Amino acid sequence: MASAVIVAAGRGTRMETDQDKMFLEVAGMPVVGHTWKQFDRHPDIDETVIVIRDGGREKFEELARFLELKKPYSLVHGGSERQDSVASGIASVSSSCKIVSIQDGARPCTSPSLISKTILAAIESGAAVASSKVTDAIKIADSRNYISQNVDRTSLWAVQTPQVFDLDIIRKALAVVRRRGITITDDTAACELIGQPVVLVPSSDQNPKVTTPEDLVLVELLLRQ
């Protein structure tokens, strides 16, 4: 059984709006609505767990009714850091769950094929992440914002979501993070701490995350296509 944990508890401070970025409307529904629907309709996903902020339950329940969901779902509250929210979501999956797909709620354009590919890779290897090869030139800057070093981009990848894991592996990895009292920026970093290899699954389609107001324009275009 595969469960999706959709992390939708962030505050979205870079959106320059008082409105929760998850509920900014794009292509006819809230950002997180597109994400949730994509996973709910996916044949490889058996349930969804949505990690929400305090006080957000009513809006998500209303959204669930609007989406006419096909799969079981649950709403759980997140924590102060992303890793805490992920841990909360993982703790709430079904007892029969074997594979967990962790997704940013603000990443609404993830294709069904990418979801399938990351799940298959995680089944085979234990951990997998959607990714894209870095194509821009990368530089290191000094304290004055002058280029101080060129970086060879040959082996550089930008990781996205879904980040998919064997449930026992990600639980073990997050337990190490918690025990060491460190903060990680994504879930694959937890796997590094326990020596768990993570397969990079190339994303052939655009898979942007809504972070700034400008991102909404691109996302609107992609969703309407």
- pLDDT of the residue at 20: 84
Residue 47: the pLDDT is 98
pLDDT of residue 64: 97
pLDDT, one tens digit for every residue, the chain (225 residues): 999 999 999 765 555 566 788 999 999 999 999 999 999 999 999 999 999 999 899 999 999 999 999 999 999 999 989 999 999 999 999 999 999 999 999 999 999 999 999 999 999 999 999 999 999 999 999 999 999 999 999 999 999 999 999 999 999 999 999 999 999 989 999 999 999 999 999 998 999 999 988 899 999 999 988
The two structure tokens encoding residue 32 = 């997180």
How crowded is the C-beta side of 105, counted as CA atoms within 13 Å? 30
One-letter identity of residue 116: S
Identify the DSSP state of 10: -
Task: Provide the CA 20 distance to its chain's centre, in angstroms.
Answer: 17
Q: What is the pLDDT of residue 174?
A: 97
Nearest-CA neighbor of 38 among 110, 146, 133? 110
pLDDT of residue 14: 58
* pTM for this entry: 0.94
d(CA 154, CA 33): 36
Tokens of 18: 């008082």
Q: Which helix (H) or strand (E) holds 98?
A: none
